[in-house]
Amino acid sequence: MARVAAQLYGFNPRSPFTNSDKVHLDVKASHESKHLTRPKYRSDIDGLRAIAVFFVVIFHAFPLLCPGGFIGVDIFFVISGFLISTIIFANLERDSFRFLEFYSRRIKRIFPALVLMLAASYAFGWFALFADEYRQLGKHIAAGAGFFSNFVLWQENGYFDNAAATKPLLHLWSLGIEEQFYIIWPLLLWISWRSRLNLLTVTCSVAAVSFYLNVWEVHASPVAAFYSPQTRFWELMAGAALAHLSLNKRHLFRPFAHKFKVTLGSVKSAKSGHVTLHLDSVLSVFGATFIIAGLIAITEVKSFPGWWAILPTAGSVLIISAGPEAWLNRTILSNRILVWFGLISYPLYLWHWPLLSFDRIVKGDLPVSAGTRIALVAISIGLAWLTYRFVELPIRRQSVNAAKVPMLLLVMLIVAGVGYFAFKFDGLPARSAVKHAERINAQFEGPFWKYTKNDICLRRYPFREAADYGWWFCMASKDEKPTLLLLGNSFANEFYAGLVNNEAFHNQSVLSIGTCRPDGEPTNSDITSPCYGDRSLHQEQFIDQIIATSESLKYVIIDGFEPDKGSVARLKRRIDFIAEHNAKVILFLPHLRLNYDIRECFARPFNNNPKRSCEIQISERSRADAMFKAVVDQLRHTNTEVLVFDQNQVFCNNERCSMVRNGMPLLRDAFHISEYGSMELAKIFQKWVAIHAPDLLR
């Protein structure tokens, strides 16, 4: 491993403020050079990169072992802000900053490994993923190639979002933020420089605004705070401010450094007598302490980034500011092994998560052995080294004016287009690998959402404007007052497909509002949710208004009710209100659910053996009925007109229960009935209605 070519600072770090006030730069050309100057190589920063990527990889592979490992990304942000800003500040001062050269270098640094990883993910997904999974992968490939993954992931977050572990390109959110920084920051600094503004003031102002937004947004909208560039830029700005101070303001710290040396110049050691204390070593130790504290204290349940992100950010700033000759930096971070991992940290970051995620997708919720995860990490290290050695280095060594830069742009554009094509055409269900499962796969997600595209409901009932929040579902079969209302959360909403596709109910005007609990109780702690706080009450009031003004309303189907303390009384008030307005209530008993994804009950594209049977013991149905029996008995005693329908008939006979019928999934995930299941349930409901509510068939 090559040793440090030179120190970043042009003075003795052990007396850090006694020589030049500016860093020396690795100028391969003279002062009049047209090329960008670059900071001299620091092996300790590569060592810090290695620590950061270790945190992230261990967190992803063994989350219980390193629950705060995601702070490695925050360390990366500080490093990027420092190195990139050092280049920009120094070259603006020399009047040698060139946008074309700057972005050419960024392209050569970032694109090769990213293109390779995206192409490999696309190729593996072609053979391994169902259509809906491949559709999402295509969207994420396009977003990753366009460097806006953070915005896509932000937009996807919600109740029906699939687990993070099943998104192979989830980790590209951080790369998106860095690229957005690379686009905005040089332009802002250049404009500020031409306007003769103080660049340190500009840097600190941007950091202050970003940090304020981060602290505010982490409580108002935690997902936005995590993915938004405006709430993350302050971490990059911390590195940028350090770069400016290192270049121009070191003299400001001379009095402090001198005082520190006088008051804490040495300590007594039993073995070697007096040992000199140096400011740089103390700074790096404090920095490491901050990072370790963050690693221990910060977990996924904390409001992050917020104030907590100060720990890894400040720690990184202190370690970098200490310089390459600080004891920690010189002896630990500059270790040959850490430096080697630092050199491959970028491709290692790119490769490790797709391998872990694809393994999770293929194996489903079945436990993954520690040996498998260790093997996957080892493979990602091997791929990272191969990528660095045979892809990154050859391209980066080429002249910035070489044709490889436009070629890389073209290839990335092609990758983005191919990904978007897979997304636009629903995951290419005609692929030979998944063609046999096209009908099955179509039930997992796609068909359900087409019913939400009909805008009749929101046109007649403008809930969005009235309540000032978005609704997940509002669907109406006819542009007229309802005769049949589906009321409840998403479990009520899932029956809409079966009703509107059943000829027996075509005369009914079906309105479905499946968002919050039917008893109006707030159930979601997410501030952005339609069911957060008083929003459930707002919804209840709007629905009551619909019931009160719909003289044609015959029946209200209530589904998704979960009995708990006080909920039966709230449900009874709702039922009484419905009865007062001459409508009848049909209460659906809760249906059975799985504790794993329904996909596991079907063979994957390259595996003919399903991992699960999708069968449930009949005792599970009996247990679920027993849990709800008290509610039914109480309502039958106080509200004799309430009808009760057992929707588990679609899953169960007298001997067993199965979530598969005629080779088709009755669920679309672990909890919600599929379109096919909804239609099968409607057939059973039709027979039941003919006996208990025949006027619904007229």
- The domain spans of the chain are 25-424, 446-697
What pLDDT score was predicted for residue 571?
A: 87
Beta-carbon contacts of residue 676 (< 8 Å; ≥ 6 apart):
443, 661, 664, 665, 666
Q: For residue 268, is pLDDT > 50?
A: no
Bridge-based pairing state of the strands 584-589 and 643-646: parallel
Q: Determine the 3-state secondary structure of 514 from DSSP.
A: strand
Beta-carbon contacts of residue 401 (< 8 Å; ≥ 6 apart):
104
CA count, 13 A, side-chain hemisphere, 528:
16
What pLDDT score was predicted for residue 568?
A: 83
What pLDDT score was predicted for residue 255?
A: 59
Q: Determine the 3-state secondary structure of 511 from DSSP.
A: strand
What pLDDT score was predicted for residue 609?
A: 78
Q: Determine the 3-state secondary structure of 659 from DSSP.
A: coil
Strands annotated E in 246-326? 266-269, 273-276
Q: Which two tokens stand for residue 116?
A: 């390779």
Name which of 141-150, 184-193, 256-265 the model is least confident about: 256-265
Strands annotated E in 552-659? 555-559, 584-589, 615-617, 643-646, 656-658
Query: What own/partner pairs with CB < 8 Å and gap ≥ 24 does 253-260 have?
Result: 253/16, 253/17, 254/17, 254/18, 257/16, 257/17, 258/17
pLDDT digits 0-9 by tens, 6-46? 332 232 333 322 233 333 344 343 344 456 777 789 999 99
Average pLDDT over residues 85-99: 93
* Residue 467: pLDDT band with limits 50, 70, 90: very low
Torsion sign (Cα): 430, 435, 438, 444: negative
Average pLDDT over residues 138-151: 97
Strands annotated E in 584-662? 584-589, 615-617, 643-646, 656-658, 660-661
In words, the CATH class of domain 446-697 is alpha beta
Between 97 and 7, the more confident residue is 97
Beta-carbon contacts of residue 116 (< 8 Å; ≥ 6 apart):
387, 391
User: Is residue 434 within 8 Å of residue 444, measured between CB atoms?
Assistant: no
Supply the mean pLDDT for the chain: 85
What pLDDT score was predicted for residue 37?
A: 73
* Residue 562: pLDDT band with limits 50, 70, 90: confident
DSSP state of 21: S
With 0-12 CB in 10 A as exposed, 13-18 as middle and 19+ as buried, what is 55? buried
Quote the percentage of the chain above a pLDDT of 90. Answer: 59
User: Is residue 175 within 8 Å of residue 114, measured between CB atoms?
Assistant: yes
Quote the percentage of the chain above a pLDDT of 70. Answer: 84
Strands annotated E in 6-160? 25-26, 38-39
Name which of 178-187, 324-333, 379-388, 446-455 the model is least confident about: 446-455
DSSP state of 479: S
Q: Which two tokens stand for residue 463?
A: 């809930």
Backbone angles phi, psi at 590, to 5 degrees: -60, 140
User: Is residue 432 within 8 Å of residue 131, measured between CB atoms?
Assistant: no
pLDDT digits 0-9 by tens, 442-466? 888 666 677 877 678 877 877 654 4
Number of Cβ within 10 Å of residue 207's Cβ equals 20
Number of Cβ within 10 Å of residue 366's Cβ equals 11
